[in-house]
Structure 1
Amino acid sequence: MSRVTRRTVVPLLLVLVVVAGIGLYLFQPWKAFTETTVNEALPSASAPGLTDGRQMNGNGGMKGGEPSMTSTRPKDLAEGRFVTHEHDTSGTARTVRLADGGQVLRLEDLKTSEGPDVRVYLSSRVADAAKAGLGDGAVALGKLKGNLGNQNYTVPAGTDLSKFRSVVIWCERFSVSFGAAGLAPVSG
Structure 2
Amino acid sequence: MNPATEKRPLPRRRLVLWSAAGLVLVLVAAGLWAFQPWRLFTTRTVDEAPPTAVAASEEDPGPAGTDGSDGTGEADAAEEEPSDEPVVLGEGGFVTQEHETSGTATVLELPDGTRHVRLADLATSDGPDLHVWITDQEAGGDWFKYRDGRYVALGELKGTHGDANYEIPEDADLDGMTSVVIWCDRFSVAFGSAPVDL
Query: What's the TM-score once normalised by structure 1's chain length?
Result: 0.81
> Which residue does the alignment assign to 2:8?
none
Tell me which amino acid in the other structure corresponds to 1:121: W
> Pairwise mapping of residues 65-144 of structure 1 onto structure 2 (< 5 A)?
72-129=84-141, 131-134=143-146, 135-144=148-157
1:15 aligned to 2:23? yes
Report if aligned partners of 2:97, 2:193 keep a CA contact under 8 Å in 1. yes
> Which residue does the alignment assign to 2:5?
none
> Which residue does the alignment assign to 1:40?
48
Alpha-carbon distance change, 121 to 81 in structure 1, aligned in 2, over 3 angstroms: same
Report if aligned partners of 1:47, 1:70 keep a CA contact under 8 Å in 2. no
Identical amino acids, percent of aligned pairs:
42
Shift of 1:7: 2.5
Shift of 1:57: 2.1
Q: Deviations over 1:138-186 (max 9, x none)?
A: 111111111111011110102233321000111111111111100146x
Alpha-carbon distance change, 172 to 49 in structure 1, aligned in 2, over 3 angstroms: closer
Tell me which amino acid in the other structure corresponds to 1:171: C
What's the secondary structure of 2:164's corresponding residue?
A: strand
Report if aligned partners of 1:55, 1:63 keep a CA contact under 8 Å in 2. no
1:180 aligned to 2:180? no
- Give distance in 1, aligned partners of 2:135 and 2:142: 7
Alpha-carbon distance change, 5 to 46 in structure 1, aligned in 2, over 3 angstroms: closer
What's the secondary structure of 1:126's corresponding residue?
A: coil
Report if aligned partners of 1:47, 1:72 keep a CA contact under 8 Å in 2. no
Shift of 1:119: 0.9
Q: Tell me, which stretches of 5 or more residues in structure 2 are unaligned?
A: 1-10, 74-80
What's the secondary structure of 1:42's corresponding residue?
A: coil
Q: Tell me, which stretches of 5 or more residues in structure 1 are unaligned?
A: none
Looking at secondary structure, tell me which structure has more strand per residue.
1
> Which residue does the alignment assign to 1:167?
180
Report if aligned partners of 1:141, 1:154 keep a CA contact under 8 Å in 2. yes
Tell me which amino acid in the other structure corresponds to 2:184: C
Report if aligned partners of 2:138, 2:195 keep a CA contact under 8 Å in 1. yes
Report if aligned partners of 2:94, 2:104 keep a CA contact under 8 Å in 1. yes
Tell me which amino acid in the other structure corresponds to 2:189: V
> Which residue does the alignment assign to 1:153?
166
Q: Deviations over 1:73-104 (max 9, x none)?
A: 22211100000111101100000011211000
Q: Which stretch shows the higher mean deviation, 101-110 or 154-163?
A: 154-163
What's the secondary structure of 1:56's corresponding residue?
A: coil
Report if aligned partners of 1:85, 1:179 keep a CA contact under 8 Å in 2. yes
Report if aligned partners of 2:117, 2:168 keep a CA contact under 8 Å in 1. yes
Report if aligned partners of 1:46, 1:70 keep a CA contact under 8 Å in 2. no
